[in-house]
Amino acid sequence: SSNRIFRSSIHRASLLFGRRQQTLSSTASAEISITTKNEERTVGLPPTWEDLTSTLEKVKVSSESSSPTPLVTLYRDTNGWCPFCERVWLALHIKNIPYQEVLVNLQDKPAWFLAMVPTGLVPAVLFHDDLINNESSSSEKGNDDDDEDKAAKAQPGRRLVWESLDIMKELDKSFPDTPRLVQEDNADYMEARSIATSMTTAGFQYAYAGKNKTLTEEDKASKKDEFNAALDKFDEFLGQNKDAGPFALGSSVSGIDEFNT
Ligand SMILES: N[C@@H](CCC(=O)N[C@@H](CS)C(=O)NCC(=O)O)C(=O)O
């Protein structure tokens, strides 16, 4: 099953890097061939750290140079492991929306964050409506170390959204000229999202089963089987689209491509 998980991550990486080909022009072909090379050695090694670092560096430069004015603030975990934050982070990059980040220590959440976000969870996104609606007429003062400035309530004309799916929907709505990621009117999208959600749930249950002392070895084995079955289902879904690709739903990117972080 680890090979399958690995194949899925390679698939996701190639989708992202593949898309970057549109924005990175001539430099992208090197990344594509790196990805292809790794896909060929599916049972072998993941991309090297150097492959990933050099690709990310180029992506960073490409998005920063398009517009330096942040139109949203992403509140995410300090350590960068939160998959829900990664989902939003990827959405911002796919849409090429300039953003700034405020890091939140989940081990010791600051009072301003708990007062600002009802669930107390990351991610949350502050939409700079004053700038989004009239990008040229305002100047951004940028990030400030002052706690007051990190909180949405201190910033009139701005709107805070939490819950990753709700954030993605709002990103679609507020930036209508960018790829629409949440396509709830598309039956393929809904099918893929349901398969992907089951896969994520089964994955978490399997991952945590090892630490759960109340489970028998048999229980743990069945969690593993359920995860394998969920992976097979998602593989099968991707397989149906293999000719249409390169994205999960065919020729254009959707929330499914960044849902499975
Ligand atoms: N349903 C939420 C889940 C967000 C979530 O669980 N975030 C975790 C980090 S991965 C968190 O903030 N944990 C802090 C805590 O539980 O106090 C979403 O999709 O945004």
Q: Measured at the alpha carbon of residue 197, what is the angle toward residues 192 and 198, in degrees to the nearest 5?
A: 100
Say whether both 191 and 164 belong to one domain. Answer: no
Give residue-wise pLDDT tens across range 54-94: 776 665 555 555 557 999 999 999 999 998 999 999 999 99
In ligand 1, which atom is closest to the CA atom of 122?
12
State the pLDDT confidence band at 182, using cuts at 50, 70 and 90. Answer: very high
Give residue-wise pLDDT tens across range 183-213: 999 999 999 999 999 998 999 999 999 889 9
Q: Is the pLDDT of residue 217 over 90?
A: yes
Q: Give 242's contacts (C-beta < 8 A, 6+ positions apart).
A: none
Separation between Cα atoms, residue 228 and residue 231, nearest integer Å: 5
Please say which residue of 182, 213, 231 terminates a domain.
Answer: 182
Give residue-wise pLDDT tens across range 154-176: 567 889 999 999 999 999 999 99
Q: Give 31's contacts (C-beta < 8 A, 6+ positions apart).
A: 17, 20, 21, 24, 51, 55, 58
Report whether 260 contacts 12 (CB < 8 A): yes
Say whether both 175 and 83 belong to one domain. Answer: yes
Please say which residue of 156, 182, 208 terminates a domain.
Answer: 182
Q: What is the mean pLDDT of the chain?
A: 78
Q: What is the DSSP string of 112-134?
A: HHHHH-TT--S-EEEE-HHHHTT
From 77, 113, 121, 170, mutation site for ligand 1 pocket: most ligand atoms within 8 A of C-beta:
121
Give residue-wise pLDDT tens across range 222-249: 999 999 999 999 999 988 876 677 888 8
Residue 84 lies in a domain: yes
Domain that holds residue 240: 187-259
Say whether both 56 and 159 belong to one domain. Answer: yes
Separation between Cα atoms, residue 38 and residue 108, nearest integer Å: 39
- Is the distance from the beta carbon of residue 121 to the nearest atom of ligand 1 less than 6 Å? yes
Q: Is the pLDDT of residue 152 over 70?
A: no
In terms of pLDDT, which residue wins out, 235 or 4? Answer: 235
- Is the distance from the beta carbon of residue 84 to the nearest atom of ligand 1 less than 6 Å? yes
132 Cα: distance to centroid of ligand 1 (angstroms): 27
Report pTM.
Answer: 0.71
State the CB neighbour count (10 A cutoff) for residue 158.
17
167 Cα: distance to centroid of ligand 1 (angstroms): 13
Say whether both 107 and 197 belong to one domain. Answer: no
Say whether both 203 and 146 belong to one domain. Answer: no
Say whether both 178 and 196 belong to one domain. Answer: no
120-129, 131-140, 162-171: which range is least confident on average?
A: 131-140
* Count of the separate structural domains present in the chain: 2
Please say which residue of 164, 182, 200 terminates a domain.
Answer: 182
240 Cα: distance to centroid of ligand 1 (angstroms): 32
- Is the distance from the beta carbon of residue 103 to the nearest atom of ligand 1 less than 6 Å? no
152 Cα: distance to centroid of ligand 1 (angstroms): 19
- Is the distance from the beta carbon of residue 200 to the nearest atom of ligand 1 less than 6 Å? no
